[in-house]
Amino acid sequence: MDKRFWEIDAWRGLAIVSMVFYHFMWDLLFFGVVRDVALQSGGWKYFQRSIASSFIFLAGVSLVVSYQQVKVREAAKTGGAAKNKNLGKKGGSVGWQKFLRRGAKVFAWGLVMGIGVRVAGVGRIDFGVLHLIGFSIMASYPFLHFRWINIGLWALFNFIARFLQEPLVDHYWLTWLGFIPPNYSYLDFFPVFPWFGVALLGIGVGNLLYVDYLQEWRKWLPNLAALPPIRFLRFLGGRSLVIYLLHQPILFVLLYLWFAIAG
């Protein structure tokens, strides 16, 4: 069984709670219950960015944890040829199919969500957070053993993204990279530049903190896993994709029915 770290799941669970709250506010704004809330600017904008950054960063950290576990299992199958002290170093093509399948699954759900919002007529999602996370899972495999290089790439991706902020193209097929057409309007937009850099940052930090022989710091971390609030967050964090896909349709339908009955 894969080992899960309670602090990762709890952080992801906190991001889930924050996301549901943010989308609930979006729904209230959509139905006209609140009118003076600017969700795309000010504090709300940074709140939303912090939520997305958490998901993307934790996806990178989780890739490292999963990669290490795959290497341990592969080593066990081959008689322990790979020692724990070498787990953070470059090695072979261990488990790349797993990451390809996982990334393709998440990316496919991003496509489904994008089609859904277009059909519903509530906006457009060309390359949202699910597209980005799915892409990151597939594209990150060559970087999974790097630490400081990935942290440096995070800075580089942010630097390059600065040059893509002004409209440079008048079509949509490069939006996934970060090129923004004039008057581009979207519900969810997390292009490769700079957001893949956040996933690489998570991989770099994951390699600093969660490679087996570097986990001494966890001995000093209070074990809060059994506390009821943490258990609840861990429960949510372990089911983040399902909750991400279902929470907004459920909220939207419930609010629609509420106002239809009340009104």
User: Looking at the predicted structure, is the pLDDT value of residue 7 above 50?
Assistant: yes
Report whether 69 contacts 15 (CB < 8 A).
no
Task: State the average pLDDT over residues 73-79.
Answer: 73
Residue 10 pLDDT > 70:
yes
| 3-state DSSP of 31-68 | CCCCCCCCCCCHHHHHHHHHHHHHHHHHHHHHHHHHHH
At residue 260's C-alpha, the angle toward residues 257 and 263, to 5°, is: 140
Q: How many CB atoms are closer than 10 A to CB 208?
A: 17
Lowest-confidence region among 82-86, 110-114, 121-125, 212-216: 82-86
Tens digits of per-residue pLDDT, 197-250? 999 999 999 999 998 777 888 889 999 999 999 999 999 999 999 999 999 999
Confidence of residue 88 (pLDDT cuts 50, 70, 90): very low
Whole-angstrom distance, CA of residue 258 vs CA of residue 135 = 37
> Per-residue pLDDT averaged across 138-153, rounded?
96
Q: Which two tokens stand for residue 133?
A: 């996370």
User: Of the ranges 46-55, 135-144, 173-182, which one carries the lowest mean pLDDT score?
Assistant: 173-182
Taking 80 as the threshold, does the pLDDT of residue 89 lie above it? Answer: no
- Given a cut of 60, is residue 1 above it in pLDDT? no
Shortest CA distance to 27 belongs to which of 258, 248, 189? Answer: 248
The answer, yes or no, to whether residue 143 has pLDDT greater than 50, is yes
Record the pTM.
0.91
Task: State the pLDDT at residue 93.
Answer: 60
Structure tokens at 135: 């892409």
pLDDT of residue 257: 92
CA atoms within a 13 Å half-sphere pointing along the CA-CB vector of 7: 10
What integer is the mean pLDDT of 40-52? 94
Residue 260 CB contacts under 8 Å (≥ 6 apart), including other chains: none
Cα–Cα distance measured from residue 25 to residue 205, given in angstroms and rounded to the nearest whole number: 32
Band of residue 95 on the pLDDT scale cut at 50, 70, 90:
confident
In this predicted model, what pLDDT tens digit does every residue of 153-203 receive, in sequence order?
999 999 999 888 776 778 888 899 998 888 888 999 999 999 999 999 999
Q: pLDDT band for position 86 (50/70/90)?
A: very low
* Residues near 22 by beta carbon (within 8 Å), at least 6 away in sequence: 39, 44, 47, 48, 51
Contact, 135 vs 149, CB < 8 A? no
